[in-house]
């Protein structure tokens, strides 16, 4: 075991290894913090909503491109929007009238429509499970509220990528 006085090359290697270690540690901590934020920000309180958002998160792994898949901030943003869509649909389904949405930065409309479809599909998957937690409202009312969210996004399409509904 050497106790110091190594060559300049040894010191340079030690500095590089230390810099690499710190950089890698910071990246890991950032990913961990983003994942924790994603779980806490995106999860509404009910077991049903948590199950749906877990299904959305699982589905995102299959549909995101590689750059988005490894971008914790992009994934966190999508999950926050999915959580807002689900909270709004649950509230709309309970009251029968539109609930105010949480103010989030707007997603591009094609991405918002695709995400809404993913939330609808995830809610249906959860409701079809044998051990599904109750949504707290009639499943048909929830699906109708989620569908209305998709239709309202399509009606507001003014940029030519879809024909607006009459």
Which of 68 and 124 is assigned the larger pLDDT? 124
Which of 150 and 114 is assigned the larger pLDDT? 114
**Among 88, 106, 105, residue whose Cα is nearest residue 97:** 88
- In 40-121, the DSSP E strands lie at none
Please give the angle made by the CA atoms of 74, 55 and 95, to the nearest 5 degrees.
95
For residues 101 and 124, give the distance between their C-alpha atoms in angstroms, rounded to a whole number.
22
For residues 55 and 135, give the distance between their C-alpha atoms in angstroms, rounded to a whole number.
14
39-84 residue pLDDT tens: 444 446 688 889 999 999 999 988 888 888 888 888 888 998 898 8
* Mean pLDDT (whole number) for 141-166: 66
Q: Find the helix packing angle between 72-95 and 8-42, rounded to 10°.
A: 10
Q: Where does the pLDDT of residue 108 fall: very low under 50, low under 70, confident under 90, or very high at 90 and above?
A: confident
5-17 residue pLDDT tens: 568 888 888 888 8
Which of 149 and 50 is assigned the larger pLDDT? 50
**R_g of the chain, CA atoms, integer Å:** 22
Which of 125 and 21 is assigned the larger pLDDT? 125
Q: Where does the pLDDT of residue 104 fall: very low under 50, low under 70, confident under 90, or very high at 90 and above?
A: low
Contacts of 81 (CB under 8 A, 6+ apart): 104, 107, 112, 115
- 8 Å CB contact between 94 and 58: no
Q: Where does the pLDDT of residue 114 fall: very low under 50, low under 70, confident under 90, or very high at 90 and above?
A: confident
């Amino acid at each position: 075991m050497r106790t110091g006085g190594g060559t300049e090359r040894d010191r340079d290697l030690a500095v590089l290894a230390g810099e690499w270690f710190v950089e890698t540690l910071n990246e890991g901590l950032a990913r961990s913090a983003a994942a924790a934020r994603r779980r806490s920000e995106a999860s509404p309180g009910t077991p049903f909503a948590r199950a749906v958002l877990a299904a959305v998160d699982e589905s995102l792994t299959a549909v995101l491109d590689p750059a988005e898949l490894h971008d914790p901030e992009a994934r966190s943003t999508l999950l926050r929007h999915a959580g807002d869509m689900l909270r709004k649909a649950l509230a709309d389904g309970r009251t029968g009238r539109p609930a105010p949405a949480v103010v989030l930065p707007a997603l591009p409309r094609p991405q918002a429509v695709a995400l809404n479809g993913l939330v609808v599909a995830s809610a249906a998957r959860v409701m079809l499970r044998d051990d599904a937690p109750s949504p707290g409202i009639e499943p048909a009312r929830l699906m109708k509220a989620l569908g209305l969210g998709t239709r309202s996004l399509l009606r507001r399409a003014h940029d030519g990528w879809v024909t607006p509904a009459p």
